[in-house]
Structure 1
């Protein structure tokens, strides 16, 4: 069993519903959307993880902690943090992948993500040698390697970039068309604020299985 602390909108939020249709699966309900067949391969990787932004990357639970303690910690953390907005999101690229990303770096979001990484680290079991190898540390920067060993994930703290992945890797000639289709599908949500109103605890029951939402916790209202 692996756990992760992610941002995702509430189950019935229009963005979650639009993303579930795009990816072909709703991580809250497990519902499969058959009209995703034309882009099944394109969305295979993000579909398994569910629509989300990584805040505390997937981890196995420390032998010193229980699932009940983790759930309580997510609930308590959310109750002590105030909801806020990312001022503007857009469809962007991270290398060959497409994702919903902030138009520019937003300090409160960076601080929020760093707080989560630190707060929940006591729940994380140490990485195994195979987990470290899967991250290909030889291809990481020195700072990313340090993050991997200290926090269990390379893309945290100064290396964190908020993104809600929408595709697997794409071929360069196809990218303009994919970008255009994504802009159309998510037109209701891009170029405007994205409210960060809650946190979700996701679970992966067995390695390689789809991640699903275990519980969703509201942040304090503004």
Structure 2
């Protein structure tokens, strides 16, 4: 079993339903959702990897548990309870390292602080990655700071290397990017572009290595 701390749209947010339709799966219920048709492209194949994780932005990357689930849940709920709700700037569809994602139009300092707190304050619940996992990460041409983060926190893109993004596709061929981006903007652009308050910290769970991630709980921010 693995856990992760993510931001995800609230159930009532139109972005939740539209993003689930784009990926083809609802991370709240696990239900398969029919995807829009893009002429000449296989959207199911282009979203295969992000579909496993559900519509989200990573705060604390997936990790195996070093303590019982109820202890992690209680600690994550306590972290959420001392965090004040805050405004998330509008999002936009943008390319990122060859794939498409929803990105902030302006940086959100409060979300960065929450991501940092999830990584640091919940680290006692993270079992160390295996040697194979470390080696697999190292193959991605990491910078020296990213190598150091990988050794300390089990993942290279946290803290100062963290970037908010909601992954929408696998890596795309350059020729496919314009059509996929146009379709994503048509479906998600208006909903993504609205300011929204962040009032929840989402605890996701993966029951087995090949299982999809599901929202295990939405922990309210009460600070």
Work out the CA distance in 2 between the residues paired with 1:49 and 1:220. Answer: 26
Counterpart Cα distance in 2 of 1:174 and 1:138: 23
Structure 1: give runs of 5+ residues left out of the alignment.
Answer: none
Contact 1:8 1:51 in 2 (8 A): yes
> Deviation per CA, 1:21-67, whole angstroms, max 9, x where unpaired?
110000110110134575100111110011111111010111xx211
So what's the TM-score if we normalise by structure 2?
A: 0.92
Computed over aligned residues only, the root mean square deviation of the Cα atoms, in angstroms, reads 1.6
Number of residue-to-residue matches in the alignment? 219
CA distance in 2, matches of 1:40, 1:5: 25
1:152-211: CA deviation from partner (whole Å, max 9, x where unpaired): 111111111011111111111121221111111112223332422211111111112111
Alignment of 1:117-132 (within 5 A): 117-132=119-134
Q: Is the 8 A contact 1:2 1:59 kept in 2?
A: yes
CA contact (8 A) 1:137 1:145 kept: no
Q: Matches of 1:190 and 1:206 in 2, distance apart?
A: 31
Partner of 1:47: 51
Q: CA separation in 1, counterparts of 2:152 and 2:43?
A: 37
Q: Distance in 2 between matches of 1:34 and 1:176?
A: 22
Q: Say if 2:92 and 2:189, in contact at 8 Å, map to a contact too.
A: no
> How far 1:138 moved relative to its partner?
5.9
After TM superposition, the score normalised by the length of structure 1 is 0.93
Match for residue 2 of structure 2? 2
In the TM superposition, 1:158-173 aligns within 5 A as 158-173=160-175
User: Which secondary structure does the structure 2 equivalent of 1:131 belong to?
Assistant: helix
The partner residue of 1:57 within 54, 61, 75 is: 61
Would the aligned equivalents of 2:7 and 2:200 in 1 still touch at CA under 8 Å?
yes
Change (3 A) 1:93 1:138: closer
Q: What's the counterpart of residue 27 of structure 2?
A: 27
List, as ranges, runs of 4+ consecutive aligned residues in structure 1 with deviation greater than 6 Å: none
Q: Name the CA distance, whole Å, in 2 between partners of 1:158 and 1:121.
A: 16
Asked if residue 149 in structure 1 is aligned to residue 128 in structure 2, the reply is no
Q: Kindly state the Cα deviation for residue 86 of structure 1 after the two structures are TM-superposed.
A: 2.0
Distance 1:213 1:99, change over 3 A: same
| Distance of 1:106 and 1:2 partners within structure 2 | 27
- Are the equivalent residues in 2 in contact too, given 1:9–1:197 (CA < 8 A)? no
Alignment match, 1:82: 84
Q: Distance in 2 between matches of 1:87 and 1:164?
A: 14
Q: 1:140 to 1:107 in 2, by over 3 A?
A: same
